[in-house]
Amino acid sequence: MRREPTNLAGNAAHAEETAGAILGWLANEPDMFGRFLALSGVQPNQLRTAVNDPGFLAGMIDFLMEHEPTLLAFCEATGTKPEAVAAASRHYSGPVDY
């Protein structure tokens, strides 16, 4: 069976959009954002540079996904499906090998 190529550009755009939505949501949740920054080791003045690092974005998305109530609060507040967050995570982190 022949598989059709995936729309990599579309996937990247959706992942970038989701990452931006997560960052915006976190920025409006001061306690959560402070906790994320503390765990990531990123200082607020380093954010402009960090957002261009796929590893930072992967960590930010993982932070959200590691706590289901936080993930669901983000999804409810932004109208984002959890599957979109999972897809963004796969985009930035790559597939998980076990």
34-50 per-position pLDDT tens digit: 999 999 999 999 999 99
pLDDT confidence of residue 94: 75
Count of domains forming the chain: 1
Q: Confirm whether 10 is domain-assigned.
A: no
Does residue 3 belong to any structural domain of this protein? no
In a domain, 7, yes or no: no
| CB proximity list for 33: less than 8 A, separation 6 or greater | 26, 27
In a domain, 1, yes or no: no
Residue 41 domain-assigned (yes or no): yes
List the domain range (segments joined by +) for residue 76.
Answer: 15-93
The pLDDT of residue 60 is above 80:
yes
Helix-then-strand count for the chain, H and E: 6, 0
Query: Do 87 and 15 form a contact (C-beta atoms < 8 A)?
Result: yes
CB 82 within 8 A of CB 71: yes
The residue among 14, 39, 13 whose CA lies nearest residue 26 is 39
Residue 35 resides in a domain: yes
Specify the pTM. 0.83
Would you say 75 and 6 are in contact if contact means Cβ atoms under 8 Å apart? no
Whether 28 shows a pLDDT value over 60: the answer reads yes
